[in-house]
Amino acid sequence: MASRDQLYAKLGITAEAAQLFETALGTVVLASKGHNNNWYVEQDPKAAAMALETIEFSTLGRVLAMLKQELRFEDDLVTSQFKRGLIARNKLFHGFFERHNFKVQSEEGQDDMIADLEDLHEEFFRCWRVAEGLANALAEVVITEEQFEKHTSSESPSK
């Protein structure tokens, strides 16, 4: 049987996983925007700062819309995973206690709530892993392109 302290601890751990997902997704959007605007070739700190501020002050749904503008996916697996993350986030932050109503008053109800939080936590973890994988892949692409750009510009004939 779960205690209220265990319930609230699981709520905090689940909220952390949601934020890890949101942060990683924001990183993917910012990295994509930087790549698409060639900021690795010609830096634009003001535009990058504005993009970061826009991402940080946007809802998760809006960040997903930004992602669709910056990246095209061959299949819908990635975007459907992120949509499930958005649904999970909304379940957690918009009505979790309302949905469970008086369950918080009993140990059995608290067990049900913890089981729900565990499902949400697992969804956020899956989303975070996909977003982190994309962020790492984008970083590798940008680093490779930046190295290529430096290498080809250093080989140009000098007068």
**Residue range of the domain that includes 50:** 4-154
Which residue from 145, 147, 150, 142 is spatially nearest to 32, judged by alpha carbons? 142
Residue 28 counted as domain residue: yes
pLDDT digits (tens, 9 = 90+) for 69-125: 998 887 787 889 999 999 999 999 999 999 999 999 999 999 999 999 999 999 999
Residue 40 counted as domain residue: yes
Are the C-beta atoms of residues 66 and 25 closer than 8 Å to each other?
Answer: no
The CATH number covering residue 26 comes to: 1.20.120
Count, residues in the chain: 159
Residue 159 counted as domain residue: no
Residue 80 counted as domain residue: yes
Q: What is the pLDDT of residue 47?
A: 96
Number of domains in the chain: 1
Residue 24 counted as domain residue: yes
Single-letter code of the amino acid located at 31: A
Express as a percent the part of the chain with pLDDT over 90: 71
Residue 60 counted as domain residue: yes
